[in-house]
Structure 1
Amino acid sequence: MGTHGKITVTPYADGGKTRLYGEGKTWRTAEGVQVPMKQITWIARCRFRDNDGRTRPVEAWDSTSTGANQSLQTALAARKRTASDTITADTRLEVLADYWLRTKVDASGRAVGTRQTYRYITEQYVIPGVGGLRLRECAVSRLEAWVAGEVAKHPANARIALTCLKGMLDVAVREDAISVNPARSVSPVPATVSKDVRALDVAGVVELRRTLADDANAVARDLPDLVDIMLATGCRIGEALALRWSDVDLGEHIVYLTGTVVRENGVGLFRQDTTKGRKPRGYLVPKFAMAMLERRARQVPPGPLDLVFPSAREGLREGSTVEKQWRKFREQHPQWSWITPHTFRKSVGTAVGRGADIAAAAKQLGHTSSAITEKYYVARPDVGPDQREILEQFGA
């Protein structure tokens, strides 16, 4: 399947109705009538075996013999690509990976970052590692050994690689190329041991905000205001940079997070009109943040994109640019060397988790599970007062 027979290129007159005979620049009908070259239509033909096993004629027309041949070659290349989408037990994993990326990942409703991560991990790890295996050779033991090797080198990527393997081999099962998905029997990759959550306490936030306000370079780069909106909502840096004035209700003191700033390969920087959690979130913001927003409403022109935090050219700002600016701030103030933009989200989660409860913190951060909030976003509480002398009575 996916192959073609010999290509023939034949001249015709009358729009492809009358077959011509001759050579060079002299062509005549069967009755001997000569036809001018500009009135000739060339038709390239061959037979092609499609992915259903049936052989069919394929043709392409042009005003020149070379053009007809090239047009047919282009049509055959596209037809071969379609035929290669048929997955069998002899299909190599790298072919299945390409098919999965094109038809199941790129065409899905997944977030841009997720699609790009799946493509990167598949192309940089899965294909070089096991792409040469045929599907019938993808035994659990082979995949288990490869995943174990990846875990030893880079466990975070190994977890995603196993997820990609499961996804693409699910396609092979649905195509009846294999009966079961071997990747689903591979031992799960253990979650990387997370470091203790480190967040700013109230005193730390007050001191950091004061340092930012006194730093002329930080003020020029809008860092104090960006930090304030993150501290007031717990939003991610991309969500803060995507904030529009139409999402801010100054009268009701509400900020709505409705999108994020992302960069997609081949597309560039743009505002994605959904957040990571896919649902818009509204927040009643504290007075210090409202004062900042009211000031910016007076001082910062809305610009064509209606952004609260536009770039110097009134366009979108990129998260990586802000992170670079933040690193320069930390170089000038080494006492804040451990702080990243994501620290403010953890600080919000910790403050709400301690002041209210974990469920409230999860809702504030837009998490669907409070377990995620507790594990990754709330710092362990400080050690309480020493009451051992009193409690020792229980052991008498």
Structure 2
Amino acid sequence: MGRPPLAVGTHGTIRFVKLAKGYRAKARYRGYDGVVRDLSRSGASKTKAERELKSAIASELQTPTGGDITGRSRFREVAERWLAWQERRVADGERATGTLDNYRSMLNNHVLSAFGELRVSEVTVPRLDRFFPVVRQKASAAHARTARAVVGGVLRYAVRHGALTTNPIREIEPIEGGSRKKARALSPDERRSWLAQLELDPRAVGKDLPDLTRFLMATGVRIGEALALYWEDVDLDAGTVAIAWTVVRVRGEGLRRTDPKSESGERLLALPTWAVDMLRLRWKTAQAENRAPDSPVFPDTYGGLRDPSNTRRALREARGSEGFAWVTSHVFRKTAATIMDEAGLSARVIADQLGHARPSLTQDVYMGRGAVSTDAATALENVL
């Protein structure tokens, strides 16, 4: 006999996970819409983590639901509701902030101009069949696939709320071709030239890009994870950093730290010695400025969390239109992975460093994971 379902408005057993510093409390709760969701919060002690989690659950249960969606609802209105739901998923660590940015961009640049004023019941298979080839022709096959995912998500949301009985996107053929361009890694000479270019650019220095770039290459973390790092997550004596958060922007709330999108995203990373030295210097500066341990290692100009989107824009401005015009924040992650691969580290070790769940089923079964890899730190000594 299975366990009885959670009563509406209640939560299940609270579980705890030991972090490098503190604890993470996790539980499932059932909202007033009947949906069971996972939620987690962290704190310096079990008691504080539990208190933060209970407060978050109480806040979620107070969130009112919107009005009903019907077949006569405008596609634009349903898309706004769907996007708000996706924002909550990002805040809960279920969806990557980059994915949300792509969805929003696709809606604004392509989808809403085609379907925004139609009623959802008017978004038919023939209309969809005419739309996706246009996106492919104007942009690319990859854009057309993203458009298909976005439109399908909005219509699936309408089905879930009873506005439609079936999702017409299911009748649309998959969009083939246009393989995704892979990120390129910086060569040793390019790494030196890139850092030299940043150091000579007063605006890049003012936006703290040289040290941020060094940290990204020293760890291979995502830019949102780097900007979410607090000093309390750094152990300079052990030479490690605990990666347990990412920065996202939530509508109506601003920037906040939230769980990574998977448990594999929570990891303890050993640092190369040059990166430890860099962080020691930054910590001395932070102490001189009376910044608390629960403050960002890479803050904005006011000492608070830094916006990943604005930071990516700053990197684009700093790279210029020639030479490094191809460089994005993901290039530094690719660079770290390439250095570790060339050093002969296993795919499992590299996946653990990057926070990937599973490089393959075979490697999951036959290789251990989760340990702090000093081999990765040794390999990354050669970044600079």
Q: Indicate whether 1:347 and 2:335 are aligned.
A: yes
**Match of residue 292, structure 1, among 269, 274, 278:** 278
Q: CA deviation at 1:311?
A: 3.1
Aligned to 2:175: 189
CA contact (8 A) 2:267 2:352 kept: no
Cα gap change, 1:227/1:99 in structure 2, threshold over 3 Å: closer, same or farther?
Answer: closer
Q: CA deviation at 1:307?
A: 1.9
CA contact (8 A) 1:212 1:224 kept: yes
Cα gap change, 1:115/1:330 in structure 2, threshold over 3 Å: closer, same or farther?
Answer: closer
Q: Distance in 2 between matches of 1:134 and 1:216?
A: 51
Q: CA deviation at 1:234?
A: 0.6
Q: CA deviation at 1:118?
A: 3.7
Whichever residue aligns with residue 307 of structure 1, its letter is: P
Larger relative contact order (Cα-Cα within 8 Å, sequence gap ≥ 6): 2
Q: Indicate whether 1:87 and 2:58 are aligned.
A: no
Q: Distance in 1 between matches of 2:230 and 2:108?
A: 36
Greater displacement, 179-188 / 127-136: 127-136
Q: How many residues align?
A: 285
Q: Distance in 1 between matches of 2:153 and 2:100?
A: 13
Aligned to 2:242: 256
Q: Is the radius of gyration larger for structure 1 or structure 2?
A: 1
CA contact (8 A) 1:212 1:218 kept: yes
Cα gap change, 1:368/1:132 in structure 2, threshold over 3 Å: closer, same or farther?
Answer: same
Deviations for 1:32-61, whole angstroms, at most 9, x for unmatched residues? xxxxxxxxxxxxxxxxxxxxxxxxxxxxxx
Aligned to 1:273: 258
Aligned to 2:303: 314
Q: CA deviation at 1:183?
A: 0.4
Greater displacement, 166-175 / 237-246: 166-175
Q: Distance in 2 between matches of 1:196 and 1:361?
A: 17
Cα gap change, 1:185/1:359 in structure 2, threshold over 3 Å: closer, same or farther?
Answer: farther
Q: Distance in 2 between matches of 1:299 and 1:169?
A: 51
Q: Indicate whether 1:362 and 2:348 are aligned.
A: no
Output the TM-score relative to the length of structure 2: 0.61
Deviations for 1:60-97, whole angstroms, at most 9, x for unmatched residues? xxxxxxxxxxxxxxxxxxxxx84xx1524x55544544
Q: CA deviation at 1:282?
A: 1.6
Whichever residue aligns with residue 213 of structure 2, its letter is: V
Output the TM-score relative to the length of structure 1: 0.60
Whichever residue aligns with residue 272 of structure 1, its letter is: R
Corresponding residue SS for 1:291:
helix
Q: CA deviation at 1:175?
A: 5.0
Identical columns (%):
34
Deviations for 1:85-125, whole angstroms, at most 9, x for unmatched residues? 1524x5554454455445x4455445455456545544553
Corresponding residue SS for 1:370:
coil
**Match of residue 236, structure 1, among 197, 201, 222:** 222
Q: Indicate whether 1:126 and 2:115 are aligned.
A: no
Q: Indicate whether 1:247 and 2:233 are aligned.
A: yes
Q: Which runs of 5+ in 2 are unaligned?
A: 1-65, 361-384
| Superposition RMSD in Å | 3.5
Whichever residue aligns with residue 339 of structure 1, its letter is: V
